[in-house]
Amino acid sequence: MSASPTITTAFKTQFHDSYILALQQMDSMFAGSFVDRGMIDGSNFTVNNTGSVEAQEVNGRYQDKKPQNPDHSTRLVYMSDYDVGPIPIDAFDLPKLSADPSSKYVQMMKGATNRRTDKTIYRALLDPALSRSAEGATPSLVSIPAGQQIAAGGTGLTKAKVIQAKTLFRKNKADKKYNPGVELYLAYNADAVRQILSDTTLTSADFLAVRMLEQGEITDWCGFKWLPYEDLDVPAANTARTVAWQSTAVHFGIGINVKTDISENKQKRGHPWECYSWFSQGAVRQDELKVVQIDYATNV
């Protein structure tokens, strides 16, 4: 006997019992690439810089000593406050859902916090830094000098530009040859991956090039640790602005460590749950000679 054709109206539906996060950056890409000043007690913190002195020839006997006064300056950064949410979960909805979304909301907030940290570091690397040269002096903004900038010039992020940046660090005595223990970093996006991996100057005899082509990724190359970052500035059409830096170039501090709260809002009907996160942080560039700004065309 054949089944009734209307039996299909009773077919059941299997509902998904969890949530899948939308594609997004969850971890900090720049973690470990800066000087972590830890918890900051106050609305701001400073970085004290001093210049250098050179040996003087003594060409006589019983001469008076000649004082040397190295330059001093102080970098100043104010803490900035941020929050994520609240993301409400209506209590009337919870019994009707197959899955509780609160744990995923917490993951979303953590990802947003880590992305903000990366943006704070990126902005500190490139934006003018607040500096003063004497007690009581009005702070002024110090920008990256032209000598530390590599123009787009209608070309992509080529091997020549990477070598030029590496050369600047050596000339400034900012690389590990002069500062053992430091690292050099370079941020890159998807366009840079495409350009570097297709650069004809990377021959099959180059072991690093072969490894990069096999993995389709850049990690350590030309003296830099390469860090992926898709939120680069766009200073002009079809142009991206990346940055290379030494590991002591930026000082980062935390005013309020990330706090996350999931609690009932008793001012609303049904006492809905809310996921909320807040924190405070700040960063400043310590020395322009430890940073190289690199612009490159993205449409080549």
Mean pLDDT of 93-102: 57
Identify the pLDDT of residue 127: 96
Using DSSP's 3-state secondary structure scheme, residue 49 falls into strand
pLDDT interval class at 73 (50, 70, 90): confident
pLDDT at 201: 64
- pLDDT confidence bin for 16, thresholds 50/70/90: very low
CATH class for the region spanning 35-48+72-297: alpha beta
Closest CA relative to residue 122, chosen from 36, 30, 37: 30
Residue 210 tokens, joined:
């072969």
Hey, which bits of 155-238 come out as E strands? 184-188, 220-221, 224-228
Predicted confidence (pLDDT) at residue 185 exceeds the cutoff of 80: yes
Type of residue found at 298: T
DSSP state of 255: E
pLDDT at 19: 45
Ranges of each domain in the chain: 35-48+72-297
Mean pLDDT of 278-299: 95
Do 192 and 156 meet the contact criterion of CB atoms below 8 Å apart?
A: yes
221 pLDDT tier (thresholds 50, 70, 90) = confident
pLDDT for 186: 97
**191 vs 48: CA distance, rounded Å:** 37
Whole-model pTM over 0.85? no
Kindly state the tokens that stand for 20: 């899948």
* Alpha-carbon span 281 to 295, nearest angstrom: 27
Reply yes or no on whether the pLDDT at 202 is more than 90.
no
